Amino acid sequence: AQKVTQAQTEISVVEKEDVTLDCVYETRDTTYYLFWYKQPPSGELVFLIRRNSFDEQNEISGRYSWNFQKSTSSFNFTITASQVVDSAVYFCALSVGETSGSRLTFGEGTQLTVNP
């Protein structure tokens, strides 16, 4: 069985602060995909990143960066210089198998509030 843990239920920061959202996953499969999604109050899921289990390179996209460490089964997400518009619930998710277009196991989500 797969499991995703986001230990931080809520995080509150002041604008321009950096913030890291933690994600720890569990799976016995050697081939899997990890995702991060943003869910604003309107409810839709906004795809942020997908990473497969064979690619441990960290990734940076603008103010967003991701740190994937298989040794600790973690896939953490950092927002640099946070902005009010970053306020949302962020979900980490896992799918197993050779294609990532399969069922997702979601973490519990982290509510991020960025205050002006």
Smallest distance, other proteins to C-beta of residue 39, A: 9
| SS3 state at 71 | helix
Verify binding: residue 64, other proteins, rule CB under 8 A: no
Figure out which of the listed residues 91, 94, 96, 114 binds other proteins, where binding follows CB under 8 A. Answer: 91
Q: Dihedrals φ, ψ of 72, to 5°?
A: -115, 10
- Rounded Cα distance between 37 and 91, Å, is 5
| SS3 state at 67 | strand
Smallest distance, other proteins to C-beta of residue 44, A: 5
Smallest distance, other proteins to C-beta of residue 81, A: 26
User: CB neighbours of 27 closer than 8 A, spacing ≥ 6?
Assistant: 2, 3, 94, 96
Verify binding: residue 45, other proteins, rule CB under 8 A: yes
**Binding interface with other proteins (CB under 8 A):** 33, 43-45, 47, 50, 91, 95, 99-109
